[in-house]
């Protein structure tokens, strides 16, 4: 290694012969035939450095380019220095060193090549192959190298003598580490030598077995909490013989070993502190060692065994929120209704035929001695022996709490707790001092501490006595009822809320606290918008009266609208349509007011119906207004291309029409009814709409009321049983309606004035109107395309964008519907650091804009902002990401089409990969497109003060520059 290369008179021996191997990109490796070592420039760029031979490493110092230099001669150029092979001092003497120097074109730098032979001999077979395990996944190999070998191929099999698979080629050393292997597995290896002439035969086989691995991590670690303890279980990995349970009080550790050598796949850790959160992992061990930890689980021990909040709204399961999964199953249809805290479980049954109750899982009381049962009960009526709970296995083994054990004074309507087993007679404690009320929420509790059992009503002691039996004496109970007895006793007629079972006896003070909860924030606050109003509803949370507060700014400050409410609903009237209001509700009890509820918001609207008919199929056309008065399609109307997106097409020959819900006109006095219609044919009395309850109570718009002089002219009419149809309550058009094209029709009622519009122009007016939609009462037959009169024809045409407003629109507003808003133009997106600044032109008559974003130009686009201005900064983006945006305008008439999409790519701030090629005397630099905006800089050294920007390199992700300086450094910087 390191032998200097010299010039010598040619003698033909192999020390003067070199084998050239193509390495790609114009570079070769030159290997001496005698030594099998590669020509090397010493790894430096120093002029005058001696060329030497070294073992092949693939470094640039061993790569050479051969370039024609005229008259059949060649120059030899180093890859890492750019210098060329040169005879030192231009000497012609034997033994002169070959050095590297700057290219001058002198004779001492020109070389003549002759082919000594077409190939060198195939190398001998490697010897001395040895294999040794290094780990559970690695085996190390070594062998004796051969002269003439340029590289080696390593081959592996899993059975002795193969077949072998090549696992490594062009190995240029005489050792190799094979990784990624299976543990405790035997592998068989051979090695062959390679040069330019070919590959040797395989070496003698060597084998080794990877080290055995400890067990994998246990899986499915679960924790079931208890009072001062937690029960862990897990799934065993293969080859595990024992387990180590570790615990910490911080997620992720550090962990302390709780127990080692556990041979089962479960363990109960006792002596914990209730209320403290613990974090557990388990590892498996065997004779080889201990494996990795399992996934972490956490648990907070608690004496709470069961807590049924009954806050569901439907279904047959009441969830246990204690963490022990003692969920209750509802039998025979108990329901959920308003409770003390949110919802409650409603039994309401006096009949055995419809007996309703709930059932808890087996073993809910197993192992419990001291205990507390706490619940809120609402009693509708008393029946002797009706149960709050009864846990047991039948009439000889149970424990129960009843609301009444006798109907006789003075002990009626008083609690009794009883317990018995198959070997011990019933023991009980009765309430002696407090009568339970009806039709009010009452807190009841029973505790056992030692042999003392105490009964409580609304936090006050109602009775106590000695009982030697405890729940553990019952064994595993299988009939655990709420509202039902082990006996044929009456079922509970009432409701339960917040049922709890604890595995310890609570103190009298703790019972008082449960019976007198602080007022909580009202739950499930909901809003229903209306015409200039909002109806709020909520559920109690230990609250009995309420205050409603409102703001026009999210988060407040709020103004009190009303206080002292005892109902769970309130309608706030006199609101401005189109304004967004924010509401909270607070509740109070005897202890004072609680916090505000979660905020909800609403925007009242005067648009009470909007059927866009943009569906593609089905029997429902959705109402997009706040009222959700969806239309039901009858006899198969279809959705076709409409005036705006899709439309509803009705075929009179198939008696097709649509019907709207009962009461769709409720509350309407001044109003506007409008829509687009496209008539295929016109027949007398065919209806666009007809709302009413029969042939003496209706309001309609027909396309023709007279086939003669007034053919194809609209008429609106309204009547009631008391006021027959007359000219006073009619609007008849003076203009014919086009056939085969879309026309906009509108009826506007304001006091005694009615107006009829066609395509934005008023075509009829009456100032003698005495009726309005509210005059009809609650209409039950509300048709589109059909008449109240069975003999009248069905509409033959299409409808689109049918609307009802709770106010009389002005003529200018009606006219605005004739032309769809224009799409915003000049949408511009400017990228920034983790943000995009967007701007667009204002659209005439637009009152708001919807900005949408997608990951590609074709969408789908998702709305990200509702805006009133013409600019927006999108900060929900990441550097390096590509985003596309569209904007559409809106006003009360509807929305414009989307603008043309605009795309933007944010500059990535991650260090990029810089690559280059050389072509035609230029360097062509390239970097990732998401790094457009980075600047290419150049320096002739690595000094931090000598970097210069390449002009305009930040305008794209590539640049070409002349290659005039052979010693240059390049980098990308941002910004």
- Is a pLDDT exceeding 90 seen at residue 530? no
Strand partners, 204: none
> Is the model's pLDDT at 661 over the cut of 60?
yes
Give the mean model confidence (pLDDT) for residues 720-740: 96
| Segment 840-893, tens digit of pLDDT | 999 999 989 999 999 999 999 999 998 989 999 999 998 888 899 999 999 889
Beta bridge partners, 445, equal 374, 456
Distances (CA, A) of 862 to 320, 536, 853, 855, 885: 38, 30, 5, 10, 9
Please say whether the beta carbons of 950 and 905 come within 8 A: no
**What is the pLDDT, as a whole number, of residue 284?**
96
The pair phi, psi for residue 128, each rounded to 5°, is 70, 25
Tokens for 843, please give them. Answer: 């659209």
| pLDDT tens sequence across 904-936 | 988 888 888 888 888 877 889 998 888 888 999
CA distances from 349 to 332, 341, 387, 498 (A): 10, 22, 12, 20
Mean pLDDT within 62-87: 89
Handedness of CA 891, 895, 896, 898 (dihedral sign): positive
Kind of pairing between the strands at 139-144 and 127-133: antiparallel
Q: Which residues contact 594 (CB under 8 A, 6 or more apart)?
A: 518, 519, 520, 521, 541, 542, 543, 586, 587, 588
pLDDT of residue 349: 60
Q: Which range is least confidently modeled, 146-155, 175-184, 429-438, 616-625?
A: 146-155
Tokens, residue 956: 């794209």
The H or E element that residue 514 is part of is helix 508-515
Q: How far is CA 702 from CA 232, 794, 963, in A?
A: 75, 10, 84
Residue 318: pLDDT over 80: yes
Q: Output 139-142 pairs: Cβ under 8 A, ≥24 positions apart.
A: 139/177, 139/178, 139/181, 139/187, 139/189, 139/208, 139/210, 140/175, 140/176, 140/177, 140/178, 141/175, 141/176, 141/177, 141/178, 141/189, 141/191, 141/206, 142/174, 142/175
CA angle 476, 477, 480 (to 5 degrees): 150
Q: What is the pLDDT of residue 116?
A: 54
Residues whose CB is less than 8 angstroms from the CB of residue 734 and which lie 6 or more positions away in sequence, other chains included: 713, 763, 764
d(CA 707, CA 712): 7
Mean pLDDT computed over 634-650:
97
Cβ pair 230, 300 in contact under 8 A: no
Q: Residues 191-219: pLDDT tens digits?
A: 999 886 789 999 999 999 998 888 999 99
From residue 231, how far is each of 240, 275, 326, 845 by CA, in Å?
Answer: 20, 16, 15, 67
d(CA 699, CA 779): 10
Res 670: pLDDT: 95
pLDDT(301) > 80: yes
**Average predicted confidence (pLDDT) for the chain:** 92
What is the bridge-based pairing of β-strands 592-596 and 206-209? unpaired
CB neighbour class for 506 (10 Å; exposed up to 12, middle 13-18, buried from 19): buried
pLDDT for the residue 119: 56
Q: What is the dihedral of CA 542, 548, 552, 553, to 10 degrees?
A: -30
Q: Which of 544, 589, 593 is nearest to 568 (CA)?
A: 544
Rounded to whole angstroms, what are the CA distances from 607 to 532, 580, 753, 775, 892?
10, 15, 20, 20, 9
Does pLDDT of 352 surpass 70?
Answer: no
Which string of DSSP letters, residue by residue, matches 395-443?
TTEEEEEES-S-SSTTSTT--EEEEE-SSS--EEEE--S-PPPSSSEEE
User: What local confidence, expressed as pLDDT, does residue 532 receive?
Assistant: 83
Return the exposure string of 276-296: e unless at least 16 CB atoms fall within 10 Å of the residue's CB, then b: eebbbbbbbbbebebbebbeb
pLDDT, one tens digit per residue, over 433-458 is 899 999 999 999 999 999 999 999 99
Q: Which of 226-230, 314-318, 829-833 has the highest mean pLDDT?
A: 314-318
Residue 604 and residue 625: Cα distance in Å, rounded?
Answer: 10
Q: How far apart are CA 671 and CA 662, in angstroms?
A: 18
Say what the pLDDT of residue 838 is: 96
Please report the pLDDT score of residue 308 as a whole number.
Answer: 98
| DSSP at 61 | G
Residue 75 has pLDDT above 80, yes or no: yes
Residue 516 has pLDDT above 90, yes or no: yes
Segment 273-282, tens digit of pLDDT: 988 999 999 9
Token pair 């980075």: residue: 934
- Report residue 233's pLDDT band, with 50, 70 and 90 as the boundaries: very high
- Percent of the chain residues past pLDDT 90, beyond the cut: 75
Backbone dihedral angles phi then psi of residue 867, each to the nearest 5 degrees: -130, 155
With cut-offs at 50, 70 and 90, classify the pLDDT of residue 965: low
How many Å is the maximal CA-CA distance in the chain?
A: 137
Please give the structure tokens belonging to residue 927.
């970097």
Residue 24, pLDDT score: 75
Chain-centroid distance, C-alpha 428: 54
Helix (H) or strand (E) holding 515: helix 508-515
* Region for residue 166 given its phi and psi (left: phi exceeds 0; alpha: psi -120 to 50; beta: otherwise): beta
Round to whole Å and give the CA distance between 434 and 453.
16
For the segment 687-692, the average pLDDT, to the nearest whole number, is 98
Burial class (CB in 10 A: 0-12, 13-18, 19+), 400: buried
- Quickly list H helices, 754-872: 811-816
User: Considering the entire predicted model, what is its pTM?
Assistant: 0.59
Q: 528 pLDDT exceeds 90?
A: no
Show the beta-strand stretches assigned E in 25-83.
27-32, 38-40, 52-54, 64-68, 74-78
What residues does 285 pair with on adjacent strands?
242, 290
Q: In what order do the strands lie in the sheet with 915-919?
A: 915-919, 922-926, 958-962
What's the rounded Cα separation, in Å, for the pair 573 and 567? Answer: 17
Determine which helix (DSSP H) or strand (DSSP E) holds 511, and give its type and residue range.
helix 508-515
Q: Please give the C-alpha separations between residue 625 and each of 530, 609, 668, in angstroms, as whole numbers.
A: 10, 5, 15
Give the residue carrying structure tokens 């009169």.
789
pLDDT at residue 922, rounded to an integer: 86
CA atoms within 13 A on the CB side of 274: 11
Confidence at 266, pLDDT banded by 50, 70, 90: very high
Q: Which helix (H) or strand (E) holds 512?
A: helix 508-515
**Mean pLDDT calculated for residue range 149-175:** 91
Determine the pLDDT at residue 255: 97
Out of 398-402, 505-509, 819-823, 837-841, which region has the weakest mean confidence (pLDDT)? Answer: 819-823
Least confident of 194-208, 246-260, 743-757: 194-208
Confidence of residue 717 (pLDDT cuts 50, 70, 90): very high
**Which residues are CB-neighbours of 146 under 8 A, at least 6 positions away?**
36, 123, 124, 125, 126, 127, 193, 200
Q: Which of 726, 797, 737, 809 is nearest to 768 (CA)?
A: 726
CB atoms within 10 A of CB 252: 9
Instruction: Say yes or no to pLDDT of 631 above 90.
Output: yes
Containing 510, the helix (H) or strand (E) segment is: helix 508-515
The Cα–Cα gap between 284 and 215 comes to 6
- Cα atoms in the 13 Å half-sphere on the side-chain side of 886: 18
Does the pLDDT of residue 947 top 90, yes or no? no
Amino acid 350: pLDDT: 54
Average pLDDT over residues 351-376: 89
Separation of first and last alpha carbons in the chain: 48
Q: Contact 688/784 with Cβ under 8 angstroms?
A: yes
Closest by CA position to 947, among listed 955, 956, 937:
937
Which residue is it, tokens 């029946």?
383
Measured at the CA of 52, the angle between CA 50 and CA 57, to 5 degrees, comes to 130
Please give the structure tokens belonging to residue 370. 């001291």
User: For the chain, which domains are there?
Assistant: 3-109 (2.80.10.50), 127-209 (2.60.40.10), 219-299 (2.60.40.10), 304-515 (2.60.120.200), 523-602 (2.60.40.10), 607-807 (2.60.120.200), 828-905 (2.60.40.10), 915-973 (no CATH)
Task: Return the closest-CA partner of residue 311 out of 335, 343, 358.
Answer: 343
pLDDT confidence tier of residue 374, bands split at 50, 70 and 90: very high
- For residue 666, the 8-state DSSP code is T
């Amino acid at each position: 290694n390191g032998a200097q290369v010299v010039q010598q008179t040619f003698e033909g021996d192999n020390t003067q012969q070199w084998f050239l191997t193509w390495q790609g990109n114009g570079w070769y490796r030159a290997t001496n035939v005698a030594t099998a070592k590669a020509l090397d420039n010493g790894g430096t760029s120093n002029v005058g450095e001696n060329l030497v031979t070294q073992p092949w490493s693939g470094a640039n110092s061993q790569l050479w380019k051969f370039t024609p230099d005229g008259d059949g001669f060649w120059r030899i150029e180093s890859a890492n220095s750019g210098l060329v092979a040169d005879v030192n001092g231009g000497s012609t003497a034997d033994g002169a060193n070959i050095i590297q120097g700057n290219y001058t074109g002198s004779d001492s730098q020109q070389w003549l090549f002759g082919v000594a032979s077409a190939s060198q001999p195939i190398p001998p077979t490697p010897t001395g192959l040895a294999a040794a395990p290094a780990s559970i996944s690695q085996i190390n190999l070594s062998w004796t190298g051969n002269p003439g070998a340029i590289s080696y191929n390593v081959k592996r099999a899993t059975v002795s003598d193969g077949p072998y698979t090549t696992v490594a080629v062009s190995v240029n050393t005489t050792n190799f580490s094979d990784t990624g292997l299976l543990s405790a597995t035997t592998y068989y290896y051979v090695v062959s030598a390679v040069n330019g002439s070919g590959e040797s035969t395989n070496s003698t086989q060597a084998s080794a077995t990877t080290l055995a691995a400890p067990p994998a991590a246990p899986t499915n670690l679960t924790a079931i909490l208890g009072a001062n303890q937690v029960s862990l279980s897990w799934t065993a990995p293969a080859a595990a013989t024992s387990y180590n349970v570790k615990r910490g009080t911080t997620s992720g550790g550090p962990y302390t070993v709780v127990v080692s050598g556990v041979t089962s796949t479960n363990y109960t850790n006792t002596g914990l502190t209730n209320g403290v959160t613990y974090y557990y992992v388990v590892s498996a061990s065997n004779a080889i060692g201990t494996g990795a930890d399992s996934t972490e689980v956490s648990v907070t021990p608690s004496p709470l065994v069961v807590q049924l909040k009954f806050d569901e709204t439907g279904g047959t399961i009441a969830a246990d929120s204690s963490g022990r999964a003692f969920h209750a199953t509802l039998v025979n249809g108990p329901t959920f209704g308003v409770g003390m805290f949110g919802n409650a479980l409603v039994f309401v049954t006096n009949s055995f035929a419809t007996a309703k109750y709930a059932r808890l899982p087996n073993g809910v009381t197993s192992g419990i001695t001291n205990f507390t049962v706490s619940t809120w009960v609402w009693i509708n009526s008393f029946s002797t022996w009706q149960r709050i709970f009864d846990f047991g296995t039948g009439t000889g083994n149970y424990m129960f709490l009843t609301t009444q054990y006798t109907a006789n004074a003075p002990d009626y309507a008083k609690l009794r707790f009883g317990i018995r087993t198959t070997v011990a007679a019933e023991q009980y404690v009765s309430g002696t001092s407090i009568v339970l009320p009806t039709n009010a929420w009452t807190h009841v509790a029973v505790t056992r501490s030692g042999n003392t059992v105490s009964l409580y009503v609304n936090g006050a002691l109602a009775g106590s006595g000695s009982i030697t039996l405890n729940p553990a004496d019952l064994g595993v109970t299988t009939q655990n009822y709420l509202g039902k007895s082990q006996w044929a006793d009456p079922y509970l007629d009432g409701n339960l809320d917040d049922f709890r079972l604890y595995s310890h006896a609570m103190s009298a003070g703790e019972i008082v606290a449960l019976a007198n909860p602080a007022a909580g924030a009202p739950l499930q606050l909901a809003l229903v918008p209306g015409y200039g109003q909002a109806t709020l509803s909520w559920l109690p949370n230990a609250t009995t009266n309420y205050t409603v507060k409102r703001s026009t700014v999210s988060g407040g400050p709020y103004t009190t609208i009303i206080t002292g409410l005892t109902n769970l609903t309130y309608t706030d009237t006199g609101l401005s349509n189109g304004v967004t209001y924010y509401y909270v509700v607070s509740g109070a009890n005897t202890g004072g007011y609680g916090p505000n509820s979660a905020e909800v918001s609403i925007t009242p609207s005067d648009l009470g119906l909007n059927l866009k008919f943009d569906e593609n199929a089905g029997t429902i056309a959705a109402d997009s207004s706040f009222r959700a008065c969806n239309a039901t399609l009858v006899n198969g109307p279809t959705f076709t291309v409409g005036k705006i997106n899709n439309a509803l097409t009705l075929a009179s020959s198939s008696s097709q029409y649509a019907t709207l819900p009962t009461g769709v006109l409720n509350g309407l006095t001044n109003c506007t009814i409008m829509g687009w219609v496209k008539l295929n044919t016109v027949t007398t009395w065919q209806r666009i709409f007809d709302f009413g309850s029969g042939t003496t109570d209706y309001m309609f718009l027909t396309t023709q009321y007279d086939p003669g002089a007034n053919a194809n002219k609209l008429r609106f009419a309204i009547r009631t049983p008391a006021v027959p149809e007359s000219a006073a309550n009619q609007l008849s058009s003076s203009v014919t309606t086009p056939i085969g094209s879309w026309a906009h029709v509108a009826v506007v009622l304001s006091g005694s004035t009615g107006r009829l519009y066609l395509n934005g122009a008023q075509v009829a007016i009456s100032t003698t109107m005495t009726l309005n939609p509210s005059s009809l009462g609650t209409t039950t037959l509300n048709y589109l395309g059909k008449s109240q009169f069975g003999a009248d024809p069905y509409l033959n045409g299409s409808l689109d964008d049918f609307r009802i407003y709770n106010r009389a629109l002005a003529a200018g507003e009606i006219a605005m519907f004739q032309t769809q808003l224009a799409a915003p133009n000049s949408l511009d997106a400017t990228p920034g650091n983790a943000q995009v600044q967007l701007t667009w032109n204002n659209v005439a008559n637009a009152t708001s804009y919807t900005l949408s974003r997608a990951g590609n130009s074709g969408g789908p686009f998702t709305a990200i902002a509702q805006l009133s201005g013409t600019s927006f900064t999108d900060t929900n983006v990441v550097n390096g990401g590509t985003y596309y945006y569209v904007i559409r305008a809106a006003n009360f008439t509807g929305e414009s089409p989307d603008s043309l999409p605009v795309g933007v790519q944010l500059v990535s701030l991650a260090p990029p990969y810089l690559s280059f090629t050389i072509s035609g005397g230029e360097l062509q630099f390239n970097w990732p497109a998401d790094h457009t905006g980075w600047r290419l800089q150049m320096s002739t050294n690595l000094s931090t003060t000598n970097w210069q920007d390449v002009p305009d390199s930040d305008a794209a992700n590539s640049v070409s520059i002349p290659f005039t300086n052979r010693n240059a450094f390049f980098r990308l910087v941002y910004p």
